[in-house]
Structure 1
Amino acid sequence: MRRFLPDGFTLSLVATVVLASMLPCRGSAAGVFEVVTDVAIGLLFFLHGAKLSREAVVAGMTNWRLHLTVLASTFLLFPLLGIVLKPVLSPLVSPDLYLGILFLCTLPSTVQSSIAFTSIARGNVPAAIVSASASSLLGIFITPLLVGVVIAGTGQGGLSLHAVGAIVVQLFVPFVAGQIAQRWIGGWVRKHATLLTFVDRGSILLVVYTAFSAAVLQGLWHQLPMPVLAGLVVVNAALLTCALLITRYGARALGFTKEDEITIVFCGSKKSLAAGVPMAKVLFAGHPLGLIVLPIMLFHQIQLMACAVLARRYALRRDGVPAAIVAGGVRR
């Protein structure tokens, strides 16, 4: 049962939401937290730029069919699922929550977990590194554009030039600065990966705390009864299930090898909490941010649990364990 339990970071997210519910930051303290959060987000993308090796990207670009398939799943399949399934799934949640679902559908793939699950499942790890990294980088540009298209279709406003400029200044400029500085500090950053993890998770927790503090002060928990929260879990699970099935059988229909299929499944079905929370802070300044980021937080945990089970089954089958035994959950 251990694989179904929340990881430490998820527990930290829950604790942060509880803290914001009991002790929300307000007044001058909220202003200080906003500044600290902005600095942490800029540092996060600077370190990501310093860590991402240009040589690894160039070396992995030869498998262009796989990379295009992953990008199509991330930036085309998910938004289409969010729009097509809206008549069926939107009655389960509130309009603001479904706006968060649509935003979730526009996000890039994760980097760390996509690579980790691909490795566990015996997939094409070099291709996963390139696909996940490319998705994360391109998402800085593609996600705001998709948000503009998707939100315009909901009648809740569009994407302003100010929001695009804020994304460029707060996310892309630090990333480019990190790429430039990679020549001098890239090796040090990769060697001290725990620093990046600390900044990564710390910046997310800061955004979640400030977002939920503002939401609690606006009466978040009065707007979010348990049936709506349960409906949100169902909507997230439905989206992930569709993505996993389509990427799996789509990769087979396109004639990819088993290693490439694994990479497509785990890179093409993920959504990045690390990129989504900072982007939401910039793109949805006039919206209830707590309700926007809540779907991303739930999807994060659901995708980790589901992909942990799926990666293990892939690995056992790659090791020659019969499908019936894998389905029965026998450990090796």
Structure 2
Amino acid sequence: MPLRIVKRLVRDWFLVGMVTAVVLAALFPDFGRTGGTLHADVVANVGIFLVFLLYGLGLPLANLKAGFMKWRLHLVVQSFTFGVFPLLWLLLDSLLGRWLPSGLSLGFLYLCAVPSTISSSVAMTGLARGNVAAAIFNASLSSLLGVVLTPLIVSLLAKTTGQSLSLGDAILKLAGLLLLPLVIGQVLRPVLGGWFSRYRKYTNLFDRVFILVLVYASFCDSVKSGLFTDYGGSLVAMTFGGAALLLALVLTLSTTVTRWLGFVKEDEIAAVFCGSKKTLASGVPMARLIFGAHPLLGLIVLPLMFYHQLQLIVCSVLAERYASREVQPAS
């Protein structure tokens, strides 16, 4: 039994790492806070640039052409990512927002505004025997649209939480530290693409370790502002419950809409997985750029952290169910 637990922890090291980052932030907040020894602002900017440069190197635009013509599928996915999610936040916040801390409400808004995730959306679609080409196209398109749409959505809707956001500054920051390295990576891809493919597992490791550093730094600022002293276990319960409710609603709605539109099963799978996923890999760096040294930054990214884990668990089960279906022979 202990060996099985150790193997499970090794396999889920990223989840363990996120929990460890939060614990370290609670114990040593001065090291990672803004202005602290870690110099989190400088580390964040350099790391974000490198992460998205690697994304650019690994983004095979040639593979996207196969899924380009599925315009109804693309419209459904992007509408869910940047339309249905914010509308659900407006509805749920009007019903339940009065019982949430303002920082947590802003965190759920941010969760609803971030793009879809590339890696797990494509992986789950492939496992479920769905339209992988369309999944690659939509997940990649979502990341590019998020540079403008994510800060725009937060700027438009955050007023209801009493927060404010400089839209122009946010878009410029995102373009400089996300879009620019993506373009540079694409330009360098013909030269460095082969190297990137050989060392992909190491670049993926850098990506995840850097996210853990950002999570630690974000929670350091929140700890110094009283995150754990002002809120108890109810904060975890509210965050988990809200993330689970949101995921259940989106999965139900996306499945219903795709079947109502008459999508073939492969397109339905791509739409459900791409339209319900939210990216932690891009979401945490984007939050750092959009909200800066916000004292409740750790609270703002908390719903995204919970949602990320829930979507992986639930969508893994869904993918296995989809994969076990009988495929009708072509007529």
TM-score by length of 1: 0.90
User: How many residue pairs were aligned?
Assistant: 319
Residue 305 of structure 1: how far off its partner (Å): 1.1
Aligned match of 1:300: 308
Question: Residue 64 of structure 2 contacts residue 134 of structure 2 at CA under 8 Å; is this kept in 1?
Answer: no
Which blocks of at least 5 consecutive residues in structure 2 are unaligned? none
Residue 159 of structure 1: how far off its partner (Å): 2.8
Q: Does 1:22 align with 2:27?
A: yes
Amino acid across the alignment from 1:213: C
Question: Residue 34 of structure 2 contacts residue 41 of structure 2 at CA under 8 Å; is this kept in 1?
Answer: no
Aligned match of 2:228: 221
Which structure 2 residues correspond to residues 1-332 of structure 1 after superposition, within 5 A? 7-24=12-29, 25=31, 26=33, 29-30=36-37, 32-285=39-292, 287=294, 288-318=296-326
Amino acid across the alignment from 2:292: A
Amino acid across the alignment from 1:51: G
User: Which aligned segments of 4 or more residues in structure 1 are displaced greater than 6 angstroms?
Assistant: none
Distance 2:196 2:165 in 1: 38
Residue 292 of structure 1: how far off its partner (Å): 0.6
Distance 1:55 1:280 in 2: 30
Distance 2:37 2:71 in 1: 46
In structure 2, the CA distance between the partners of 1:137 and 1:20, relative to structure 1 (3 Å rule), is: same
Which blocks of at least 5 consecutive residues in structure 1 are unaligned? 321-332
TM-score by length of 2: 0.91
In structure 2, the CA distance between the partners of 1:318 and 1:289, relative to structure 1 (3 Å rule), is: farther
Residue 221 of structure 1: how far off its partner (Å): 0.2
* C-alpha RMSD of the superposition: 2.1
In structure 2, the CA distance between the partners of 1:271 and 1:28, relative to structure 1 (3 Å rule), is: closer
Question: Residue 92 of structure 1 contacts residue 228 of structure 1 at CA under 8 Å; is this kept in 2?
Answer: no
Amino acid across the alignment from 2:299: L
Moved more, 82-91 or 274-283: 82-91
Moved more, 66-75 or 220-229: 220-229
Question: Residue 92 of structure 1 contacts residue 232 of structure 1 at CA under 8 Å; is this kept in 2?
Answer: no
Distance 1:94 1:27 in 2: 23
Q: Percent identity, please.
A: 44
In structure 2, the CA distance between the partners of 1:197 and 1:34, relative to structure 1 (3 Å rule), is: same
Amino acid across the alignment from 1:297: M
In structure 2, the CA distance between the partners of 1:92 and 1:200, relative to structure 1 (3 Å rule), is: farther
Residue 175 of structure 1: how far off its partner (Å): 1.1
Question: Residue 240 of structure 1 contacts residue 269 of structure 1 at CA under 8 Å; is this kept in 2?
Answer: yes
Distance 2:165 2:316 in 1: 37
Question: Residue 121 of structure 2 contacts residue 135 of structure 2 at CA under 8 Å; is this kept in 1?
Answer: yes
Distance 1:22 1:294 in 2: 18
Question: Residue 123 of structure 1 contacts residue 258 of structure 1 at CA under 8 Å; is this kept in 2?
Answer: yes
